[in-house]
Structure 1
């Protein structure tokens, strides 16, 4: 038996499993970053488009649990509250996901790496965004940006977290809202 799947050797399969377990642990601790850990780990030994495909199902399942942890009514309330973010993010996610097959691998790695490095540097700088009140325009722009990045890289968490934090969203609510946004985004990516 040379491979478990036609496109993975046994070593790659177990490496992907270990990366997935690590990503699941991180998600359990901080509430996000499963796709970030998966995409950055998997692309070290597989093509970016295959890594992107590999993170979709674990992301859908993990975020379904996170979104529904406080019950379906709370999750539905989050959808009603952030429908602009979800709509704009969903549209740009589906559109940008169509580019995955035509973007050269180097450009794809750049599209994955640049936003991750940018948001990591932003976090290290300790700069905090703050929005005095919600703005539909800002929400639409951040949602569209998160979706565009997510469609190509599978990672739409950093702009989402930055936006929710800038709004001063309580951590308890933020975890549910992130689960809803990431879960619906993963479903959209699955359909794209």
Structure 2
């Protein structure tokens, strides 16, 4: 591990990264997802987007591991058995798509980040509810998993599409939280190895990613405490509005260079 990148960053830049990670952790603890969206959108505003991708990897591995096992191993195993096809496709596509990250030009990368951030946030912000009938479940599961995995590999986030899929499947609330944890947990481990292979996570960037882990977990703990005290729907709407603004900023940067 090299501390070269940390030494290159201004103290104010690191402090801002810590604050962003805490906020992202709080929101993930409160609503169960959105940490990668928030971190990538915000960090990409003042560091190279590929460094932002590297920075989020260890925090999301740690936070997703906590979310997966928070209610015990048995529900996680049951969720894995029920949604194994979705898990396999998501993990495969994450690994494949991640290999494209080092070769995507900077401006295009801002669009790759911004379009799904804005699109997925607006879909949820306006409350679009998808429904999948039993006879369409077999192909919908594969298609949505492929889209989720591609977004996961390119921009480090497959949470919003997964949430939309589970809502469309009319998954019971507590079961949905467990399924999300399993999908995010296995996906984040895949993302870790995928970006070691792609070179995005390397001896230079891993130190930044590692130093953000305790801030992510601290924020997530606070989010868990807020979960039962806040109006979750309003909190979620504010979060999605912030994500939309952040995504529009990424699109602006892609247009202006």
Classify the TM-score, shorter chain.
over 0.9
- In structure 1, the residue matched to 2:21 is 20
Q: Deviations over 1:128-186 (max 9, x none)?
A: 10123272221111111000011010111111000001111111111111111111111
- In structure 2, the residue matched to 1:187 is 189
Alignment of 1:1-192 (within 5 A): 5-133=6-134, 135-192=137-194
Cα RMSD (Å)? 1.4
- Write the distance in 1 (CA, Å) between the matches of 2:24 and 2:122: 20
Structure 1 SS opposite 2:103: coil
Structure 2 SS opposite 1:52: helix
Larger helix fraction of residues: 2
- Write the distance in 2 (CA, Å) between the matches of 1:43 and 1:28: 22
Structure 1 length-normalised TM: 0.94
Report the CA distance between 1:7 and its aligned residue.
4.1
Q: Deviations over 1:48-105 (max 9, x none)?
A: 1111111111111111111111111111111111111111111111111000100001
- Write the distance in 1 (CA, Å) between the matches of 2:18 and 2:126: 33
- Give the structure, 1 or 2, with the largest relative contact order (CA under 8 Å, sep 6 or more): 2
Structure 1 SS opposite 2:47: coil
Count of aligned pairs: 190
Q: Alpha carbons of 1:10 and 1:32: their partners in 2 closer, same or farther (altered >3 Å)?
A: same
Structure 2 SS opposite 1:127: coil
Structure 2 length-normalised TM: 0.71
Contact 1:4 1:10 in 2 (8 A): no
Contact 1:4 1:13 in 2 (8 A): no
- Write the distance in 2 (CA, Å) between the matches of 1:9 and 1:80: 46
Contact 2:132 2:140 in 1 (8 A): no
Q: Alpha carbons of 1:151 and 1:7: their partners in 2 closer, same or farther (altered >3 Å)?
A: farther
Q: Which has the larger radius of gyration?
A: 2
Q: Alpha carbons of 1:165 and 1:7: their partners in 2 closer, same or farther (altered >3 Å)?
A: farther
Contact 2:87 2:145 in 1 (8 A): yes
